[in-house]
Amino acid sequence: MAKTTAKKAAKPAARKNKPAKAPARKPAKAAAKKTVKTARKKTAKKPAKQKMPFRPGDFVVYPTHGVGQVTSIEIQEIAGHKLKLFVISFENERMTLRVPIAKVTTSGLRKLSSRKVMDTAMEKLKGRARVKRTMWSRRAQEYEAKINSGDPLSIAEVVRDLHRKTGQPDQSFSERQIFESARERLAHELAAVERIDVEAAAEKLEDLLKAA
């Protein structure tokens, strides 16, 4: 009996003296994957090169000034920051505008309309005038907003609605001003799209209005 008790007492002591298990090592493949992911993250942080939407020589349309031509791309330092700018010349208004490349979208600067869009605008000139029965001051604001949108379809609507045919009442001074502003804006874009003189484009618009 004494021997059996001694054996039982010795067993726990033997368990305590067992060597500790070595920590499990991560497989080499997992470590390699982690390295590749880290490398990808570092590569993704590199900024992509900014694509230029326009080049010097391109004709563009700025909503409040109409058709202009990109003459160059400048880099200016403003408040310690370097900015790339499109330098745009508006021959009709005899002015030069500088638009930051980063703000092209928000400024509304765009390419010339396609021939299809211009054809649609020309078709609008043939339609019936749609004049709202509201105060002129309110209509004038709406017409100005359409012109300043830079959208040739909206501008064509202004030209159509304010045009007066033979036998119709004459335009007031303010109506005439808005009409000529819209017609001139539309003629300049038509001339740039079809690569003709502004005078020839204006005559084309007048012929369409008379034929309506």
Indicate if 149 and 103 belong to the same structural domain.
no
pLDDT interval class at 17 (50, 70, 90): low
Q: Are 99 and 160 within one domain?
A: no
- The predicted pLDDT at position 51 comes to 75
Q: If we measure between CA atoms, which residue out of 102, 10, 5 comes closest to residue 53?
A: 102
Q: Is 84 helix (H, G, I), strand (E, B) or coil?
A: strand
Separation between Cα atoms, residue 154 and residue 124, nearest integer Å? 9
Considering 67, 91, 111, which residue would you say is the last residue of a domain?
Answer: 111
Domain count along the chain: 2
Total-model pTM: 0.73
pLDDT for position 188: 96
Query: Nearest 10 degrees: CA dihedral of 118, 121, 126, 132?
Result: -170
pLDDT value of residue 42: 54
What integer is the mean pLDDT of 143-162? 96
pLDDT of residue 48: 57
Side chain identity at residue 97, one-letter code: L
Are β-strands 95-100 and 81-90 bridged in parallel, bridged antiparallel, or unpaired?
antiparallel
Does any domain span residue 187?
Answer: yes
Identify the domain containing residue 65 by its residue range.
Answer: 59-111
Residues 107 and 121 in one domain: no
